[in-house]
Structure formats: C-alpha cells, structure tokens
C-alpha cells in the first residue's frame, strides 16, 4: 500500500510539474536563505574570535576621565600588587604640535607611557623610550627625525594596529589601543608640568577573569570624575550579545520558513490528491496498473 502511494505521489509530481514549480522554487529559496544566514553567523563568530585573540587576554585597562595624581596611582599600584598578581603600567595623554619641520602646526595625540605599558604594544624597535624618542604607527608617513613642539624627536620604532573590523563596529576598537604616537612618560610630564596618570594598564601572567575586575572596581569606585574598565571580557560580552541576537534571528526565521514550507507542502499535496482522488481510489481498490488508466491533465 505504501509503495503504491509513493509511486502515485511521484507520478503526480511528474504530471503536475508546472503547477509544482512554485513549490519547488519556494523550498529552494527558503533552504538557501537558511544556509546563508547560518554561514553568516559562523563567519561573524570566527571573525570576532580572531580579533579578540589579538587584543590580549591578560590585560585590563583603566581609563580615568579626569586623571589621577601620581600619589593616587602609587597607592593603587601598591593595592593591586598586594591583592592581585599583575605588573602595572601607566599612560599620560598630551596633545602636541608635530610635523616634518620645526614649524609644524598639526595637533596630534601623544601617549606618554612607561616600559611596562610599552611591553604590551606590538611594535618594532627599542624596548624602552627615553628622552626625545617616539614610536609611531606604521601607517604614518614619518621621517627618521620628527619635530614635536619644535623639538627634534628620533623615531625609535613603529607599531601596527591590529585589524578589528568587527570590534570597531561594536565601538570596542579602543581595547589595547593608546594613541597615535608613543613617547616616554617622563617626557609627557615635562610637557604638562604634572605627574597625573590618565590610564593604568594591568598585565597579568594569566588570562583575566571577572573576579579581577570586581576587585579592581571595588578599589577605584570612588575615583573623582569616573573611570572606564576595558578588557577582553567586556569585548567578549558585547560579541556574545551580538552573536546571540543573530542566532535568535536565525532561529525565528528558520521556524517561520519551516512553517511556511509545511503549509505549502500540505496545500500542494492536498490539491494534487483532490485532482487524482478518483484515479487513485480505483488503483488502490482494484490494483489497476497506471498504464491502464488514462492520465488526465
């Protein structure tokens, strides 16, 4: 019985191939759309994982809105060393005039960093900065000698900004990024006439976890002007939220397409059955061969 029904169904599809063309086209489009959405989610996930891998899983950065004094930084450093296990680096931002010639009038952001902070930056050149030395992005067209506030600086190295297309779209491209140019922390103090610290970087010998951030947040929650803690964990949370949203959208779309396929399949089968119910009934009851019955179109 089942064999005969299967044969009749196949013959019905052949005889009504023009009428069934819409059904086949609809199923093909829905399945293709499902595959494309699933592939897009997988590619986004892989891209996010690759970009997060280069941000440093052992780094926590704390950016202070108004900066903290040198004394407050040393207190924070002592607390961190007693409670946690990282080494700490500091950074000070300053805007200076720079250019190829002493009279250059382009304002640029310079980040004064110490050796610990600099060790977390991927660059080629000297392992430390001293005096009138700077490190610039390899994308900048700088000469070997570059003038900063009319003072000649030696370009001691270049760093490469990692590609973060996906993270940039989420507003997380500032992770592991300081400024356009790096100079020594002491040089930045010389230009600003104070030892305030704008950002602190904690470099752990292991991957950071949520407990590290909770301990740090408890210590600095009363800082004047506010602060922002960034790490690979915050980036991961944002990425996971986006991926989950994509997955929810894909799941909803897949359910809708599946229901539409079931409805279209049911209506197509019902229509074909109604058109051939007399012929099918005769074949089932009397076992008449398909060749003995005139196929009606």
Helices 210-220 & 70-83 angle (0-180, nearest 10): 140
Last residue of a domain, one of 193, 210, 237: 237
**What is the reported pLDDT for 24?**
72
Is 75 within a domain? Answer: yes
Last residue of a domain, one of 237, 256, 274: 237
Q: Which residue's entry shows tokens 């946690």?
A: 84
List the chain residues with pLDDT less than 50.
Answer: 175-176, 178, 294-297
Q: What is the CA radius of gyration of the chain?
A: 33
Both 227 and 245 in a single domain?
no
Task: Please give the residue range of the domain that contains residue 142.
Answer: 57-237
Structure tokens at 7: 């044969």
**What is the reported pLDDT for 32?**
80
**What is the reported pLDDT for 296?**
46
Give how far the C-alpha of residue 288 lies from the chain's centroid of Cα atoms, to the nearest Å: 65
Is 197 within a domain? Answer: yes
Both 44 and 97 in a single domain?
no
Last residue of a domain, one of 213, 237, 261: 237
Both 36 and 92 in a single domain?
no
**What is the reported pLDDT for 185?**
92
Helices 17-53 & 232-286 angle (0-180, nearest 10): 160
Both 63 and 185 in a single domain?
yes
Both 16 and 32 in a single domain?
yes
Both 92 and 13 in a single domain?
no
**What is the reported pLDDT for 39?**
76
**What is the reported pLDDT for 51?**
63
Both 123 and 93 in a single domain?
yes
**What is the reported pLDDT for 53?**
59
Task: Count CB neighbours of 230 within 10 A.
Answer: 21
Is 297 within a domain? Answer: no
Is 279 within a domain? Answer: yes
**What is the reported pLDDT for 243?**
74
What CA–CA distance (Å, rounded) separates 56 from 49?
Answer: 12
Nearest to 280 by CA among 4, 24, 53, 59: 4
**What is the reported pLDDT for 2?**
58
Both 34 and 128 in a single domain?
no
Is 266 within a domain? Answer: yes
Both 195 and 279 in a single domain?
no
Both 76 and 219 in a single domain?
yes
Both 88 and 219 in a single domain?
yes
**What is the reported pLDDT for 11?**
65
Both 145 and 191 in a single domain?
yes
**What is the reported pLDDT for 229?**
86
Structure tokens at 12: 């019905």
Count the domains in the chain: 2
């Amino acid at each position: 019985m089942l064999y005969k029904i299967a044969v009749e169904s196949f013959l019905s599809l052949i005889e009504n191939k023009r009428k069934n063309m819409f059904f086949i086209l609809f199923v093909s489009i829905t399945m293709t759309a499902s595959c494309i959405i699933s592939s897009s989610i997988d590619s986004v996930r892989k891209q996010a994982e690759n970009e997060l891998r280069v941000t440093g899983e052992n780094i926590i950065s704390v950016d202070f809105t108004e900066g903290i004094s040198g004394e407050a930084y040393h207190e924070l450093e002592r607390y961190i060393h007693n409670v946690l296990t990282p080494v700490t680096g500091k950074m000070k931002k300053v805007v200076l005039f720079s250019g190829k010639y002493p009279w250059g009038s382009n304002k640029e952001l310079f980040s004064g960093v110490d050796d610990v902070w600099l060790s977390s930056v991927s660059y080629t050149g000297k392992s430390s900065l001293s005096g009138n030395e700077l490190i610039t992005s390899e994308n900048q067209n700088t000469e070997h000698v570059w003038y900063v506030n009319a003072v000649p600086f030696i370009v001691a190295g270049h760093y490469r900004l990692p590609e973060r297309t996906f993270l940039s779209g989420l507003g997380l491209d500032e992770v592991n990024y300081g400024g356009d140019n790096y100079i020594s922390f002491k040089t930045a103090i010389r230009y600003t006439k104070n030892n305030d610290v704008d950002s602190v970087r904690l470099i752990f010998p292991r991957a950071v976890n949520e407990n590290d951030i909770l301990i740090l947040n408890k210590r600095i929650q009363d800082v004047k002007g506010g602060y922002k803690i960034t790490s690979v964990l915050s980036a991961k949370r944002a990425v996971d939220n986006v991926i989950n949203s994509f997955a929810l959208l894909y799941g909803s779309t897949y359910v809708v397409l599946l229901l539409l396929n079931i409805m279209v399949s049911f209506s197509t089968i019902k229509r074909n059955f109604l058109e051939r119910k007399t012929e099918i009934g005769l074949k089932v009851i009397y076992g008449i061969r398909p060749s003995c019955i005139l196929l009606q179109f």
